[in-house]
A = this chain, B = another copy of it.
Amino acid sequence: MPGKNDVGREGLLAATEKLLRTIPPARVTIPRVAREANVTPSLVYYHFGSRDALLLAVVDRVTVHDHREPPKGDPATALAAHIAQTVKLVRRAPYMNRLMIDELAQAEPDETRDRVRHMNLELIDFYRTLLKADGGKQLVEADPFYLFVAVLGASDFLSSAGPLIQGLLPKNTDMDKLADGYQAFLVKLLMHGMMKSAAD
């Protein structure tokens, strides 16, 4: 067993990410992270300087997407893969979007806010590039910003609405299976919605 404070930056990020999967962001504080990683709070401060900086580093780590690269191959296939990836990512870090929204979007310093803003603008650019690459061949016309909102919103809700969702399901529901089913449904629904049909 590693000794106290024998944990590096990566270990602290992993501990924070683990907490963000299970408890609401507001309760993920530096003392709570320190306890999870079995280190002193001062070590967390030493590595990150502030709670905002720690949370931002976790968001950065989790959201290293493929979408930062221009889409390769068939744009419709790339869009389907991206939607599946978004649902998967949200499941991996269910409180991440809420964290960005409720805390980081209003965080000081401006550097943090700008970073979150930039990450989301990159995502909108990904949609724009993809729609342009298709050029109306397979995909219907769409505003990249609206597409971003719809995909992220629909992906996010199953996780972020957790307490509400769970109350609607039988007690013994297998949530992993449910999430797999939702992922498949959403990819199908949105791709069917975005693909031109014979009638278009």
Using CB atoms and an 8 Å cutoff, list the residues of chain A in contact with chain B: 97, 100-102, 105-106, 113, 116-117, 120-121, 124, 140, 142-143, 145-147, 149-150, 152-158, 160-165, 167-169, 181-182, 185-186, 188-194, 197-199
Contact = CB atoms under 8 A, between A and B. Distances in A.
Contacts of A97: 161
A165 B117 CA distance: 9
Copies in the complex: 2
Given A140-B192, A146-B181, A198-B197, A160 B117 contact: no
A119 to B, nearest CB: 10
A165 to B, nearest CB: 7
Contacts of A124: 168
B189 A150 contact: yes
A22 B200 CA distance: 40
25 contacts: A101-B162, A101-B163, A105-B167, A106-B163, A113-B167, A116-B167, A117-B167, A117-B168, A120-B167, A124-B168, A143-B185, A146-B181, A146-B185, A147-B189, A149-B165, A149-B182, A150-B185, A150-B189, A152-B161, A156-B157, A157-B157, A189-B194, A192-B192, A193-B194, A197-B198
A118 to B, nearest CB: 10
Contacts of A102: 163
A170 to B, nearest CB: 11
A156 B117 CA distance: 20
